[in-house]
């Protein structure tokens, strides 16, 4: 190894050791500061503005607790992203794509592309035992999960959330018991995914024996979790919504949303009551902005900044001096975030498809270094077959081995589904045709993904056909 490189390594190591030593001494001399980030859908982007102001004023964050959107922003900051990096993500991310389950047409199989021929709508009616099946959520959250997995790929080698650059906790709701599930270790991306599984919008997320829903139902502002991490002072950011007046509730979606707001408001109030002298509550002014205002990231971030700047008189006493701040930053970036070597690949297959077909579709094998873009690409291709409702994965440590577990769940439409459509054709001159169509498809007939389809078209021509693929 060249001497110059050795010198750089030695110098960097000494700086890190020095930073940890000074950081430890500084923590003994100052209060431990916790940052609590509440849920609120898109309004949680305001958290980014608060973090920007904290960094600008050299105010350290020693522990973080978050729920739902607060879990997303909190996990990014806890895992080593800077405020500027998180701001760029919030501004540049295609949120419409993130909250859309559709696979890019280029990744869909020809069979799935041909599904649209003769149909102007993609809506399917699924039956089981003579009854219509309703989905558990408006979307499955497939693209959301893949985005979280990509952003948090650097944490795959970390077992405990205490070992992140900033110790972190997040909370979800157990669908079966209604209890809070506090997540402090395991796969961070799946934990965040579970914390923001909004009832009726994203189906429950299965993780470590629990079916998880949005944590806002039980603890939208987890001040208690920051305390459990040792926080002496908490900076609390509440972006929750207020209930609507009764005359503004006009449909069942409004009723569902109002119910969630009421539940959230109750547990939020209970948490705020536990705040002590020296704690700081920030409530950004978000009038006119809602849980789906992802396209207004600029305004949301600005409102978060404004709320923090208005409380600088209370925040400033927590600021570090220049040298202490530099040591704090060095201690943060010195946490190793290396991609683990995969020791084992397991398949949890809730479909009729053969495990081996799924396994062949996964490029990462035992002995390979974990590669988030590659596994995401593999998952996207498998999802493009149209067989699966959701495909997720996690990386966990089992018996001192890094195990990649791929979890594939078949669509309810594996029970068979009807599809109805209208086809209109015209050459813009004198010829045109009009056809109505109905088809019934029974997918996953065998372990190779075979399907049977019968279709009837009537209009200019009457066509009845059946095919096995």
For 349: left if phi > 0, alpha if psi spans -120 to 50, otherwise beta; the answer is: beta
How far is C-alpha 325 from the geometric centre of its chain's CA atoms? Answer: 31
**CA geometry: angle 452, 457, 459, nearest 5 deg:** 180
- What is the pLDDT, as a whole number, of residue 181? 97
Q: Which residues contact 332 (CB under 8 A, 6 or more apart)?
A: 80, 165, 166
Percent of the chain with pLDDT over 90: 55
Handedness of CA 283, 288, 294, 296 (dihedral sign): negative
Instruction: Say whether 360 sits in a helix, a strand or coil.
Output: helix
**CA separation for the pair 448, 98 (Å, rounded):** 30
**Does pLDDT of 106 surpass 90?**
no
Q: What is the pLDDT of residues 286-337, one digit of tens each?
A: 999 988 899 999 999 999 999 999 999 999 999 999 999 999 999 888 766 6
Which residue intervals of 311-401 are DSSP H helices? Answer: 312-315, 322-333, 355-360, 372-383
138 pLDDT tier (thresholds 50, 70, 90): confident
pLDDT tens track for 56-94: 999 999 999 999 999 999 999 999 999 999 999 999 999
Q: Which of 6-15, 176-185, 360-369, 444-453 has the lowest mean pLDDT?
A: 6-15
**What is the mean pLDDT of the segment spanning 196-219?**
93
Instruction: For residue 168, give the nearest of 101, 53, 80, 255 by alpha carbon.
Output: 80
Across 150-179, average pLDDT = 94
Alpha-carbon separation of residue 198 from 57, 139, 151 (angstroms): 34, 10, 20
Q: Is 114 a catalytic residue?
A: no
Average pLDDT over residues 130-149: 83
- Write down the catalytic residue from 62, 68, 195, 413: 68
pLDDT band at 450 (very low <50, low <70, confident <90, very high): low
Of the residues 62, 214, 279, 394, which is catalytic? 214
**Within a 13 Å sphere around the CA of 395, how many CA atoms are in the beta-carbon half?**
27
DSSP string, 211-270: EEEETHHHHSS-HHHHHHTT-SEEEEE--PPPPPPGGG--SHHHHHHHHHHHHHHHHHHH
Residue with tokens 């490189």: 5
Centre a 10 Å sphere on the Cβ of residue 6 and count the other Cβ atoms it contains.
10
Highest mean pLDDT among 102-106, 175-179, 460-464: 175-179
47 three-state secondary structure: helix
Rounded Cα distance between 198 and 176, Å, is 15
CA nearest neighbour of 70 among 354, 264, 317: 264
Rounded CA-CA distance 33/35 in Å is 7
Q: Which single residue is written with the structure tokens 């990386």? A: 395
Domains within the chain, CATH numbers bracketed: 33-99+140-334 (3.40.1090.10), 341-410 (3.10.20.310)
pTM, full prediction: 0.81
Catalytic annotation present for 214 = yes
Q: What is the pLDDT of residue 241?
A: 78
For residues 166 and 258, which has the higher predicted lDDT (pLDDT)?
A: 166
Over 50: is that where the pLDDT of 419 sits? yes
Q: Which residue has the higher pLDDT, 119 or 300?
A: 300
Has residue 28 got a pLDDT over 70? no
Up-side HSE of residue 255: CA atoms within 13 Å toward CB? 3
- Do residues 443 and 85 touch, judged by C-beta distance below 8 A? no
The residue among 440 and 194 whose pLDDT is bigger is 194
Reported confidence tier of residue 221, pLDDT bands at 50, 70, 90: very high
pLDDT tens, position by position, 259-281: 778 888 999 999 999 999 999 99
pLDDT of residue 187 exceeding 50, the answer is yes
| Percent of all residues in the chain with a pLDDT value above 70, rounded to a whole number | 76
**Mean pLDDT across the chain, nearest whole number?**
84
d(CA 320, CA 90) in angstroms, rounded, equals: 27
Each residue's pLDDT tens digit, 362-378: 999 999 999 999 999 99
């Amino acid at each position: 190894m060249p001497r110059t490189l050795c010198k750089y390594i030695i110098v960097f190591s000494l700086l890190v050791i020095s930073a940890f030593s000074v950081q430890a001494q500084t923590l003994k001399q100052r209060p431990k500061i916790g940052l609590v980030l509440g849920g609120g859908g898109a309004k949680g982007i305001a958290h980014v503005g608060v973090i920007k102001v904290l960094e600008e004023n050299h105010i350290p964050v020693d522990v973080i607790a978050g729920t739902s959107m607060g879990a997303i922003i909190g996990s990014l900051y806890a895992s080593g992203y800077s405020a500027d990096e998180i701001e760029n993500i919030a501004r540049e991310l295609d949120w419409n794509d993130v909250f859309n389950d559709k696979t890019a047409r280029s990744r869909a199989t020809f069979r799935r592309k041909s599904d649209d021929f003769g149909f102007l709508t993609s809506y399917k009616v699924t039956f089981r035992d003579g009854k219509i099946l309703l989905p558990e959520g408006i979307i499955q959250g497939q693209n959301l999960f893949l985005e979280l997995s990509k952003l948090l790929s650097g944490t795959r080698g970390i077992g405990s959330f205490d070992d992140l650059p900033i110790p972190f906790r997040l909370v979800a709701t157990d669908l079966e018991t209604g209890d809070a599930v506090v997540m402090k270790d395991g796969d961070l991306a799946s934990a965040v995914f579970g914390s923001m599984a909004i009832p009726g919008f994203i189906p429950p997320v299965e993780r470590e024996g629990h079916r998880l829903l949005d944590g806002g139902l039980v603890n939208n502002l987890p001040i208690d979790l920051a305390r459990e991490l040792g926080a002496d002072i908490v900076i609390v950011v509440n972006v929750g919504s207020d209930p609507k007046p009764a005359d503004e509730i006009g449909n069942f979606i409004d009723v569902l949303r109002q119910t969630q707001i009421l539940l959230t408001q109750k547990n939020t109030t209970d948490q705020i009551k536990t705040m002590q002298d020296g704690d700081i509550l920030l409530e950004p002014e978000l009038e006119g902005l809602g849980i789906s205002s992802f396209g207004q990231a600029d305004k949301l971030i600005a409102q978060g900044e404004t709320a923090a700047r208005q409380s600088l008189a209370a925040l400033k006493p927590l600021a570090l001096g220049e040298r202490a701040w530099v040591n704090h930053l060095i201690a943060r970036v010195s946490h190793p975030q290396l991609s683990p070597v995969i020791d084992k690949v397991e398949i949890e297959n809730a479909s009729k498809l053969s495990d081996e077909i799924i396994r062949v579709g996964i490029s990462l094998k035992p002995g390979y270094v974990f590669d988030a873009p590659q596994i995401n690409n593999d998952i996207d291709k498998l999802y493009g077959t149209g067989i699966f409702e959701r495909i997720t994965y996690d990386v966990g440590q089992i018996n001192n081995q890094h195990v990649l577990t791929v979890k594939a769940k078949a669509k309810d439409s594996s029970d068979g589904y009807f599809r109805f459509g209208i086809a209109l054709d015209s050459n813009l001159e004198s010829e045109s045709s009009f056809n109505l169509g109905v088809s019934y498809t029974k997918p996953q007939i065998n372990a190779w993904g075979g399907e049977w389809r019968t279709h009837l078209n009537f209009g200019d021509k009457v066509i009845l056909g059946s095919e096995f693929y």
